[in-house]
Structure 1
Amino acid sequence: MRLGRDVPKALVDVGGLPMIAHAARALADSGVVDLLVITAPPGRSAEMRAAVGPLDLELQVVDGGVTRQASVAAGLARAEPGTDVVLVHDAARPLTPPALVRRVVAAVRSGHPAVVPGLPVTDTIKRVAPDDGAPVERSAAGAPVVERVVETPDRSTLRAVQTPQGFERELLVRAHAEGASRAAAEHLAATDDAGLVEALGEPVHVVAGDAAALKITTERDLAVATLLLEER
């Protein structure tokens, strides 16, 4: 079951602090972030700022858009032209270690304009399609009950991508400008910013991710994150 709360996910409590506070502190503790721009649901900017608490770097909060892509574009607009590296991070990955943040930034500054952290995929992955000629039976959630396997990719070449993703500012601005027409609808919007860079035909590189940077989507994820915090 996905998280069901009457507040934005970024404000959900994990180990006594909102997710956004954990994520912001990790960025600050990395020592490589000078400005943090948080995109908030319209009308909740003050609430989001208060949730972050004291922070040893400049903080701005802006209204986000109707999609993740539109929200990133709104935050990106606050990055000054002289900025060399822009990081895009999800509050839903609140336990991302500062060392991972530094690793991404270092890779961008070493000459890789677009960098994402990723972990090797350990499960066998199947690409599927509707079963040709058969009636499509669907579950209560709307997913097909039976599908046909069309391919088993070599998992040694697959990576599960995390955040923060890092980019040279000019490249990310160009990628968002080219992909702006996709930002208005969730089914068209990019699921990550690296996808917008790939659409330009530009290379994206991967650095080692971290298991602690898990994304909190379900109640089980929240329980795992709480246990990880207790172990720390």
Structure 2
Amino acid sequence: MNNILQENERALWILKTRGPQPLSVVAEALNITVEGARFQLLKLSSEGLVEATNVAKGRGRPQQIWALTQKGNGRFPDSHAELTVRLIRTIRETLGDDALQAVIESSKKVGLDKYLQATGQETTLEGKINKLAETRDAEGYMATWEKDGEGYMLIENHCPICVAAEVCQNFCSAELETFRKVIGEGAEVHRVDHLLAGARRCAYRICPKG
């Protein structure tokens, strides 16, 4: 998804995937000088895409932390958001909630079949998580995974259906159910961060049972 950004906007990608960061971290990630990173961020700030806040740390000088604004987050668009929302509302108003739930269930089945096919050759929990993350990333979720103690974290830094999910949160419930079926009965899957609850991302902790 980072190919939607111009070269001079790579800082947006960093702040999207890593969350708010100090200038030095942005500079290191961009592999440029601190002054070069400052120049980029100030330019993005003048366009309303990022903003800085001062965070006090101990007795020293406050540290400047850079983060995306709402407009900056908008550079990572939802997939056909306006059309999707209109269709959801039309189904609900003309056919009722049961019909909308039937559509969600059908969509869930298509997604489940796709993810099961992607992970079907994997015999380990880590292998399944890796393939699931790869598939979700290709769908625009900016998905990654990492070890987390005895388990794993599946992290999605973007939600390309966020606007639709805001209108009908059953999409989110269906998503969690799908992940649990894909991972299988040998592990537990819990959503620990949720965009619609105010977090900057969605994240799932996956732990082997027992």
TM-score (norm 1): 0.24
- Say which structure, 1 or 2, has more relative contact order (CA 8 Å, 6+ apart): 1
Instruction: Give TM-score scaled by structure 2 length.
Output: 0.25
| Greater fraction of residues in helix | 2
